Amino acid sequence: MAERRLLVLFGSQTGTAQDTAERIGREAKRRHLRCRVEALDSCDLANLIHEPLVVFVCATTGQGDPPDNMKMFWRFLFRKNLPASSLCQLDYAVLGLGDSSYPKFNFVAKKLHKRLLQLGGNPLLPVALGDDQHDLGPDAVVDPWLVALWDKILALYPLPPGLEIISPDVRLPPKYTLRYLPEGPPPPGSALLQPPAPRAAPCELQPFAAPVLFNQRVTAQSHFQDVRLIEFDIAGSGITFSAGDVVMIQPQNCPEDVQQFCQLLRLEPHRRFVLEPTEPGTPLPPLLPQPCTVHYLVTHYLDISCVPRRSFFELLASFSTNELEREKLQEFSSAQGQEELYSYCSRPRRTTLEALWDFPHTTCAIPADYLLDLIPRIRPRAFSIASSLLARPERMQILVAVVRYKTRLSKPRRGLCSTWLASLDPEQGDVRVPLWVKKGGMKFPADPATPVIMIGPGTGVAPFRAAIQERVALGRGGNCLFFGCRYKSRDFYCQTEWEELVTKGLLTLFTAFSRDQEEKVYVQHRIRENGRLVWELLSSGNAHVYLAG
């Protein structure tokens, strides 16, 4: 009988596609299939031709782009020299997750499905196109599609004699077990925050712990928004970057949240443990040191401030011994309860930690072994680099708007990364931030004669500050910036810097302060007012136009 094995490959930017891929993995285990769930770029592509059955789950980002963790796979798959029969033995299905308010809705999934067909693959089902805009979210498409998928798979690979599908009421074993170590002296400082000098350029698996040199508020104290200009020391890191590049920052949870979480789950923060995979061959999470403390796990790894997904409530329900709590958790994890879950979680942006507070009897019954199944890891955040190495060698600056807003919940919502960054005070000692650089989507012209029109309202001006610093250092003129904010006196970022460049004739600057007069004035008004100049730069100067915001 053919080997009953399934490979689930995902391309995920924000974690939704990964969450769905892991759900398919759990459902496969309930049907006694050997199943691996991997990011597309972690998979050995040469072995794809030996896989009998693959489900692809992929998101679409930006303007129809593949997520970061499937970009190498994408390039490989579209190589011209791949024979048309490369995947003729492959049965596959493609599930796309997208948002129909974007013009290139589910572009990656559609293109992937078409390419797999070209290479001889055999689709089990038509491509599924999950839509964030649907009242029930992507699950409106995913749920019925999965029912059809399992019917197809079980027709090809029937259950072995004597085995039945494991009921949803039976909890599957955790991915890892936490084996606590005997209590002894605390381990030396964490590897993530005091790393050896990296041999290669820093990356997600080996970030550079950059010292913070300054953390300066650049909005007036009277202004509602706290915006920071933060500078890092990157000397000796091997990091290089150009204007338009992006820095990835790995944030951490705040100490109060960590303490509350440990109290709620009755965890001892100082306890040390090693992770042991339940199934042989399961890789360990690469960003966790072994051995590790509970405090490190909760501070640096578990995303206790994210808005929990449906799968969180499904697993949580299986731990519940309290009938009222279990009923509510089961409702939140059912297809019928998705509107209710949206109102409880997504609309008010309720965090995982807050949800755990609302189910106290269940929360104190969560086995520590299931923490990594229950709560996703903290994802890195991207910021436009706001400085040039030509102007500030061995330094990197970012412009950060601290995210804080109200919903119907009494406590204001706070952005995890921006709040943590704003709290760092280099005057209190050595403060470090794990970071690495990625190529950005903006490329500035190599020809020094090409003028550049930059439209950057608010913190959208960050990449243009890097570009202007770089171009000025290279002696390039033709720099035209449209900047907009609310008030000249409160949130005109880098005002002195711009005015000095204007005086020196190195920058043409147009400003729109929307609230400084009765009639609101925005950058588009300034562009219209200066239409003749803009047209001249475009038509005879061949100017490039950039917009960020």
Report residue 471: phi and psi, to 5°. Answer: -70, -40
Among 98-102, 111-115, 246-250, 445-449, the range scoring the smallest mean pLDDT is 445-449
User: Are 365 and 456 in the same domain?
Assistant: no
User: Are 45 and 141 in the same domain?
Assistant: yes
Q: How many residues does the chain have?
A: 549
pLDDT at 511: 98
Cβ neighbours for 413, distance < 8 A, ≥ 6 positions apart: 349, 403, 404, 405, 406, 407
Residue at 295 is within a domain = yes
Domain of 90, CATH number, reads 3.40.50.360
User: Are 357 and 462 in the same domain?
Assistant: no
Residue at 60 is within a domain = yes
User: Are 14 and 138 in the same domain?
Assistant: yes
Residue at 239 is within a domain = no
pLDDT at 56: 98
Residue at 149 is within a domain = yes
Inter-residue long-range contacts of 260-264, CB under 8 Å, 24+ positions, other chains counted: 260/353, 261/298, 261/302, 261/304, 261/353, 261/356, 262/294, 262/295, 262/298, 264/353, 264/356, 264/357, 264/360, 264/363, 264/364
- Residues 164-189: tens digit of each pLDDT: 999 998 999 999 999 999 987 665 55
Domain of 50, in residue numbers: 5-156
Cβ atoms of 90 and 51 closer than 8 Å:
yes
Among 45-49, 141-145, 148-152, 318-322, the range scoring the smallest mean pLDDT is 45-49
Domain of 366, CATH number, reads 1.20.990.10
Residue at 228 is within a domain = no
Q: What is the pTM of this model?
A: 0.91
Domain of 476, CATH number, reads 3.40.50.80
Reported confidence tier of residue 297, pLDDT bands at 50, 70, 90? very high
User: Are 16 and 129 in the same domain?
Assistant: yes
- Residues 231-259: tens digit of each pLDDT: 999 999 999 999 999 999 999 999 999 99
pLDDT at 410: 92
User: Are 355 and 474 in the same domain?
Assistant: no
User: Are 365 and 484 in the same domain?
Assistant: no
Among 122, 156, 190, where does a domain finish?
156
- Residues 50-70: tens digit of each pLDDT: 999 999 999 999 889 999 999
Among 350, 374, 398, where does a domain finish?
374
pLDDT at 258: 98
User: Are 370 and 475 in the same domain?
Assistant: no
Cβ atoms of 233 and 395 closer than 8 Å:
yes
Nearest one of 237, 266, 283, 236 to 437, comparing CA atoms: 237
Report residue 176: phi and psi, to 5°. Answer: -135, 155
User: Are 148 and 280 in the same domain?
Assistant: no
State mean pLDDT over 360-389.
Answer: 97
Report residue 456: phi and psi, to 5°. Answer: -135, 85
The one-letter amino acid code at 343 reads: S
- Chain centre to alpha carbon of residue 494: 29
Domain count, the chain: 3
Residue at 105 is within a domain = yes
Residue at 177 is within a domain = no
User: Are 147 and 285 in the same domain?
Assistant: no
**Residue 401, beta-bridge partner list:** 227
Reported confidence tier of residue 430, pLDDT bands at 50, 70, 90? very high
Residue at 396 is within a domain = no
Distance CA 55, CA 374 (A): 23
Among 111, 139, 156, where does a domain finish?
156
Specify the DSSP class assigned to residue 206: B
Cα–Cα–Cα angle for 524, 525, 530, rounded to 5 degrees: 95
Reported confidence tier of residue 1, pLDDT bands at 50, 70, 90? low
